[in-house]
C-alpha cells in the first residue's frame, strides 16, 4: 500500500499521487467509452430515421405521407450531421 501513495516522478510535478492519477485516468476512460457509445447510438437513430423517411417517401400515396417522410429523412440527416460535428 505504501507504493500507491508515492508521488509520480516521471512527470511534471502536478502534486498527484499514483492513486489520484489512477482515479483521474479511470474517469477519463469511462467518459470516453460512454461518449463513443452515445455517438454510436445516435448514429443508429439517424440511420433509422433516414431509412424510415426514405422508405416512406417511396411508398407514400398522399402528400401528407410524403411530407412526414421528408421530415423524418431530414431529421435523420441533421442528427447525423450534428453527431459527426459537420454542423
- Nearest alpha carbon to residue 42 among 67, 75, 68, 71: 75
- Structural domain count of the chain: 1
Has residue 1 been placed in a domain?
Answer: no
Residue 8: per-residue pLDDT: 53
Has residue 7 been placed in a domain?
Answer: no
Residue 85: per-residue pLDDT: 85
Has residue 49 been placed in a domain?
Answer: yes
- Nearest alpha carbon to residue 84 among 39, 49, 35, 45: 39
Residue 66: per-residue pLDDT: 93
Has residue 2 been placed in a domain?
Answer: no
- Is a pLDDT exceeding 90 seen at residue 75? yes
Helix, strand or coil, per DSSP, at residue 12? coil
Mean pLDDT of 44-65: 92
| Band of residue 32 on the pLDDT scale cut at 50, 70, 90 | very high
Domain residues for the domain of 70 are: 16-83
Residue 18: per-residue pLDDT: 87
| Band of residue 9 on the pLDDT scale cut at 50, 70, 90 | low
Amino acid at each position: 500500500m505504501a507504493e500507491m501513495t508515492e508521488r509520480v516522478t516521471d512527470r511534471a510535478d502536478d502534486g498527484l499521487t499514483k492513486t489520484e492519477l489512477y482515479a483521474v485516468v479511470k474517469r477519463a476512460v469511462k467518459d470516453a467509452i460512454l461518449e463513443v457509445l452515445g455517438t454510436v447510438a445516435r448514429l443508429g437513430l439517424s440511420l433509422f430515421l433516414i431509412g424510415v423517411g426514405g422508405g416512406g417517401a417511396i411508398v407514400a400515396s398522399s402528400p401528407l405521407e410524403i411530407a412526414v417522410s421528408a421530415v423524418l429523412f431530414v431529421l435523420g440527416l441533421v442528427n447525423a450531421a450534428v453527431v459527426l460535428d459537420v454542423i
